Amino acid sequence: MTVIDSTISFIKEQYKSQNFIPLHVPHFGGNEKKYLLETIDSTFVSSVGAYVDQFEIMMQGITQTQKAVAVVNGTAGIQVALRLAGVVKGDEVITQALTFIATANAIVYNGAIPVFVDVDLDTMGLSPTALEQFLVENAELREDGAYNKNTGKKISACLPMHTFGFPVHMDALLAVCTTWKIALIEDAAESLGSLYKGKPTGSLGKLGVFSFNGNKIVTSGGGGAIVTNDVSLGAKGKYLTTTAKVPHAYEFVHDEVGYNFRMPNLNAALACAQLEQLDNFLDNKRKLAKEYESFFAANGINFRTETPETKANYWLMCVELENKVERDLFLETTNANGVMTRPIWQLMYRLPMYAHCQKDAQHNAEFLEERIVNIPSSVR
């Protein structure tokens, strides 16, 4: 029996099934149906309702932040967070090319331009060393911030992503961004429940954004949240995502361009029931990660684990294969035998709409692109 065959058998044993095993499925074992029925009975099923308020309170507690804003999805959350951080049309935003496409798309939705800087091998997230090197070589610091010497454009924000729930090296990234007067916004879409030096991801930058899509560790079907410790900034986010409507007893008054990005109360009801189970989900995922780690270590395959001083939520677990040939064989064989596996994302600058964007050498990102494979990671 080959290592891949053993892997297939092991995963099917973990999930107690010989049928098709998806990459990540939601688990509804709490108050989901109860809260949804209460919402329907209340008739408040759209963007106003008790569960929207409750969801925001729960997210403030979980992320240890001062303000949370419920939004329709994580992509919309990043778009608004960048605007709140001061990103305007024509600005540049530094991010990683090794990410889900929503990260880059949200930058463009603001009329800004992505700049791709390499990741670290250990976190698979934006590298502070690569960021500092890029800025030293390509930027100049002016009174009002950093400017790209090649394009003349202002570098308004830095947008690291906590890949698969593994926190980036936040202290070092924050230090570089502070020196260069660049706002740091965390793409924490995948990292709900992850900790960096005891602090929740999403709480360390100027703003953080989470996703509650159907494949996330906690889902509301569709939904997202912006979190921040700047209460006034959070209030501005709430205002912008509710069509920039000025409060009035009956008049429709809007004083700037806003967004209809509000999370419906139905989705918030589902999210609240899911958040109540977050600790249990995290415990189950860590147990599965330990089982995977032991199995793959015995079979000579590198199972990715959390870095020192962090606690990962292990949203999507992954292995690192020897090379692209081994990766492709692993992907082909597992999927053909009813075990869903997926490669890491194609690097953003390989896509036609981002091929023109400035980037650095991307040695680590390209190394990981050829080797990382996600394996089934449901809470079981």
At residue 249, does pLDDT exceed 90?
no
What would the mean pLDDT of 120-133 be, rounded to a whole number?
98
Q: Determine the pLDDT at residue 79.
A: 98
Which CATH code of 3.40.640.10, 3.40.50.720, 3.40.50.920, 3.20.20.80 fits the domain covering 32-277?
3.40.640.10
What would the mean pLDDT of 100-128 be, rounded to a whole number?
98
Asked whether the domain spanning 32-277 has the same topology as the one spanning 3-23+278-348+358-372, the reply is: no
Domain spans, the chain: 3-23+278-348+358-372, 32-277
27-56 pLDDT, tens digit each: 999 999 999 999 999 999 988 899 999 999
* % residues pLDDT > 70 (the chain): 100
Q: Identity (one letter) of the amino acid at 75? A: T
At residue 1, does pLDDT exceed 80?
no
Helix axes 3-14, 324-336, angle to 10 degrees: 50
Tokens representing 52 are: 């929207």
Q: Determine the pLDDT at residue 235.
A: 97
Q: Determine the pLDDT at residue 10.
A: 95
Please, what's the b/e burial string for 340-369 (b: 16 or more CB within 10 A of its CB; e: otherwise)? Answer: bbbbbbebbbeeeebeebbbbebebbebbb
At residue 106, does pLDDT exceed 80?
yes
119, 127 contact by CB (below 8 A): yes
Tell me how far the alpha carbon of residue 12 is from its chain's centroid: 28
Least confident of 99-103, 186-190, 191-195, 243-247: 243-247
Tokens representing 60 are: 């403030």
Q: Determine the pLDDT at residue 18.
A: 85
Tokens representing 30 are: 């709490």
At residue 263, does pLDDT exceed 80?
yes
138-183 pLDDT, tens digit each: 999 999 999 999 999 999 999 999 999 999 999 999 999 999 999 9
Q: Hey, how many other C-beta atoms are within 10 angstroms of the C-beta on 313?
A: 27
Q: What is the DSSP string of 59-106?
A: HHHHHT-SEEEEES-HHHHHHHHHHHTT--TT-EEEEESSS-HHHHHH
195, 309 contact by CB (below 8 A): no
- CATH T-level topology, domain 3-23+278-348+358-372: Aspartate Aminotransferase, domain 1 (3.90.1150)
Distances (CA, A) of 253 to 83, 149, 248: 21, 42, 8
Q: Determine the pLDDT at residue 155.
A: 98
What would the mean pLDDT of 116-137 be, rounded to a whole number?
98
Q: What is the DSSP string of 279-345?
A: HHHHHHHHHHHHHHHHHHHHTT-EE--PPTTEE---SSEEEE-SSHHHHHHHHHHHHHTTB--EEPP
Question: Mean pLDDT over all residues of the chain?
Answer: 97
Q: Determine the pLDDT at residue 199.
A: 98
* Pairwise CA distance, residues 372 & 368, whole Å: 6
Q: Determine the pLDDT at residue 380.
A: 76
At residue 134, does pLDDT exceed 80?
yes
Q: Determine the pLDDT at residue 70.
A: 98
Q: Determine the pLDDT at residue 48.
A: 84
297-346 pLDDT, tens digit each: 999 999 999 999 999 999 999 999 999 999 999 999 999 999 999 999 99
